[in-house]
Amino acid sequence: MISNNVTRLLDSKKVPYTAIELPVEKLGAEETAAILNLPPEVVFKTIVVVRPKGKPLLCVISGANVVNLKAVAELVGEKKVSIPTQAEAENLTGLQAGGISPLALINKGFNVIIDSSALSHPEIHISGGQRGLNLRLAPRDFQKITNARFAYISSPLE
C-alpha cells in the first residue's frame, strides 16, 4: 500500500478514504475511470488555473467535463483566467501532471474550488498527490480538509 504525505494527513485527521494503486504513468481522469471500471463522472481531476495576479487556483472537476474559465473568472472576480501548459502547472505546484492534487498542496496557499457536481456522489475519486495513487473519499470530507468551496465551474466535454 502506498503511503505518502497525503495518506498520512488523512489518517491524522481521521478522514475515511480508500487508497487505490494504479499504474505509475500519467493517467487522465478518463483513463483512470476506465481502469477502475467507473463512470468518468465520479473520477475528478485537478486543473491548475492561473489568474493575472495572485496564486493559481486548483479547480477540481469531473473527468467527464472541462473547466469553464468564464465561470471561474466570475467566481474569483477576475476578468480572465487561463490554463497553463503542463510544464507550467508542474512548475507552479511542484507536482507531476497526473499527480497534482489539492491534498498534496494543503498550506501552500492555493485556493481550491470543487465543481458542485461532486455533491451528487456519495464518494469521488481524486489523485493522491503522486502518479499511481488514487483516493476515494466523500466530497464533503475532501472539501473540509482542503478548505475548498463548491461552485459550478465546469461544462460537459464537447
The CB density around residue 3, as the number of other CB atoms within 10 Å, is 11
CATH assignment at residue 49: 3.90.960.10
pTM greater than the 0.85 cutoff: yes
Q: Which domain holds residue 45?
A: 5-156
pLDDT, tens digit, 9 for 90 and up, residues 32-62: 999 999 999 999 999 999 999 889 999 999 9
pLDDT in tens, 55-96: 999 999 999 999 999 999 999 999 999 999 999 999 999 999
The C-alpha atoms of residue 2 and residue 114 are separated, in whole angstroms, by 25
Among 43, 44, 38, which residue's Cα sits nearest to residue 58? Answer: 44
pLDDT digits over 122-156, tens only? 999 999 999 899 999 999 999 999 999 999 999 99
> What proportions of the chain, in percent to the nearest 5, are helix, strand and coil?
30, 25, 40
Residue 103 has pLDDT above 90, yes or no: yes
For cell 476506465, the residue is 34
Pick from 63, 139, 147: nearest CA to 110:
147
CA pair distance 63, 30, nearest whole angstrom = 6
Number of domains in the chain: 1
In this prediction, what percent of the chain has a pLDDT beyond 70?
Answer: 99
Distance CA 46, CA 115 (A): 10
Question: 75, 72, 25: which is closest to 47 by C-alpha?
Answer: 72
Terminal alpha carbon distance of the chain: 37
pLDDT band, very low/low/confident/very high, at 105 (cuts 50, 70, 90): very high
Is the Cα dihedral 156, 47, 22, 122 positive or negative? Answer: negative
Cβ–Cβ < 8 Å for 119, 112: no
